[in-house]
Every structure is written in C-alpha cells, then in structure tokens.
Amino acid sequence: MKMTHLKKLLSCFLCLVLIAATALTATACNDIFKNLLPKEEESTSSTQETETPAPKKNFTFIVVDKDGKETSFSISTDKTTVGDALLAEGLIEGENGAYGLYVKKVNGITADYDTDKTYWAFYINGEYAMTGVDATEIVEGATYSFKVEK
C-alpha cells in the first residue's frame, strides 16, 4: 500500500515536472521562432507607417492689427487643428486656460485685455468663430483670421 501511494506521488511529481519543462520549451521556441523571422518584414511594416504621412491641408491665415493692416499667410500643414498649425508655424502664442488657448500674441503683435483692453478675435471665413482656435478642425481651403478688437 505504501509503495502504491509513493508511486502515485512520484508520478504526479513527474507529470508536473514534464508540464513545466514543456511550457518552458514552448516559450523558448516561441522566442526563437520570432528571431528567425526575416528582419525585412519587421522593418517594412515600421517604415510603411513612417512613409505614410498625414495628408497636408492648406488654408489661408490673415492677421489684422489694431491699425487695420492685414498680413496674409498660406499655411500647408499635417496638423488637425488650426491652433496646432499656427503654433507650429510660430504665428500665435498664448496661455492655456479653462476655455482652451487664450491667444495673446499673433505674428509678434501682443493684444492683452488685462493690459490695454484689446484682445485677438478669431474668425472663420469672415464670421466670428464659435470655437476656440485650438478646438477648430482645419477645413481645406478655409480662411482663418485673428483681428485685434477692443
């Protein structure tokens, strides 16, 4: 009886050892097979991602200063919002606030309500914008502008 119990215990232990060895072998083989894949396939898939840039969007950007002088820019970008595109071009600067980006400087010209009671008003196709510049999606061929207002 003792011998049968010992044989069962030994066979259970042996089964556990075999299962562990099989699992370790399968894991190691999986890593080996991954390393056997041609490096071209890996690099091709990663270069395809980098070779396909987002399509460029074009729009016109107009700055109207406090004297009414207009300066026009043609913007071509892969950004998705007007704010991101203008920030990337270095055309606007501001502070992030509760309502998004508060633009204080456009094309090097400062308008700060706290200082001189002027601000930069954002327009889309000549209409006062209902969204902030950082939340406005770029529409191909649209005209966006900032005007100093009191």
Q: What CA–CA distance (Å, rounded) separates 10 from 29? A: 28
Neighbours of 79 (CB within 10 A): 17
User: For the segment 13-33, what is each residue's pLDDT rounded down to a tens digit?
Assistant: 676 766 766 766 666 655 555
3-7, 96-100, 114-118, 123-127: which range is least confident on average? 3-7
Q: pTM value? A: 0.65
Check residues 106 and 31 and name the one with the higher pLDDT.
106
d(CA 119, CA 115): 10
* 124 Cβ contact partners less than 8 Å away, ≥ 6 residues apart: 136, 142, 143, 144
Q: Residue written as tokens 């055309």?
A: 91
Contact call for residues 133 and 93 (beta carbons, < 8 A): no
